[in-house]
Chains A and B, each alone.
Chain A
């Protein structure tokens, strides 16, 4: 049973989001004609990257703990609106970033797309880079 885990309450200093793609295969004939076989009507593999600049070492450790917690049980992550998605005022866009519909239902499940990268900046301060991929679970 997978559980939902809130990402730590830390505001990122940079964020990038790439929507998922529809599962399909393209066949291109020699004359250039293109045929597409579509396997589903739901996007998958949305990407979210969060960068945290000059956060405290304890905050960096919180993120690493979240990485451990999520991956040990194959749980998934929820990004709170007022921290991870801070600065996005439009509710619909915020829901897209969170991969939820406007009613709050989860469409895709975010997981880490590789371990976070922690760069020590000065005593007690670190930069952390996290990459996430939104998965369409088959449960």
Chain B
């Protein structure tokens, strides 16, 4: 069906499970270039360097029932923040990589999506008077996307 898509059709999956209350997500690709300008040239010539991908998402902290946690947002938090069994201990577990799938529900069974493994590079959660508590996460993709159907 022909049509435009908005946030209403957007879905974010973390480790294969849909995050419940997502406010936004974004994804960007960057292509580094290498210069091949030689003496005598008048214009800059380039070749492909390495690609890189980054993204971000904003997810509301939403619980189905009291004490249940916030679903995939809690999974993210527990994967990237590792606790120590004593204060002042500097040698603790590494954060885990996460698999993200950014999907547009277009009515087809698979939808349109891009899927990749990423390492979160920043995480920020805010609770303030007059605002719904939400978390902002930025991530950098490890390697190339593993699935692409956009």
Contacts and interface: CB of A to CB of B under 8 A. Distances in A.
Nearest to A14: B39
A14 B50 CA distance: 24
A54 B39 contact: no
Given A122-B49, A125-B47, A13 B34 contact: no
Contact of B50 (A11, A12, A122): A122
B39 A15 contact: yes
Contact of B39 (A13, A55, A121, A125): A13
A83 to B, nearest CB: 9
A54 B47 contact: yes
B40 A11 contact: yes
B46 to A, nearest CB: 9
Contacts of B47: 54, 125
Interface in A54-87: 54-55, 86-87
B6 interface: no
A54 B36 contact: yes
The 3 closest A-B pairs by CB, nearest first: A11-B38, A87-B40, A86-B40
Given A122-B50, A125-B47, A13 B40 contact: no
A14 B49 CA distance: 21
B143 to A, nearest CB: 15
Contact of A53 (B35, B40, B49): B35
Interface string B11-34: 000000000000000000000001
A11 B41 CA distance: 9
Contacts, number: 34
B37 interface: yes
Interface of B: 34-41, 47, 49-50
Interface in A38-54: 53-54
A11 B38 CA distance: 6
B34 A125 contact: yes
Interface in A83-139: 86-87, 121-122, 125
Contacts of A11: 38-41
Contacts of A53: 34-37
9 contacts: A11-B38, A12-B39, A13-B35, A15-B39, A53-B35, A54-B36, A86-B38, A86-B39, A87-B41
Contact of A122 (B34, B35, B37, B40): B34
A36 to B, nearest CB: 37
Contact of A121 (B34, B38, B40): B34
A51 to B, nearest CB: 10
B49 to A, nearest CB: 6
Nearest to B50: A122
Contacts of A122: 34, 49-50
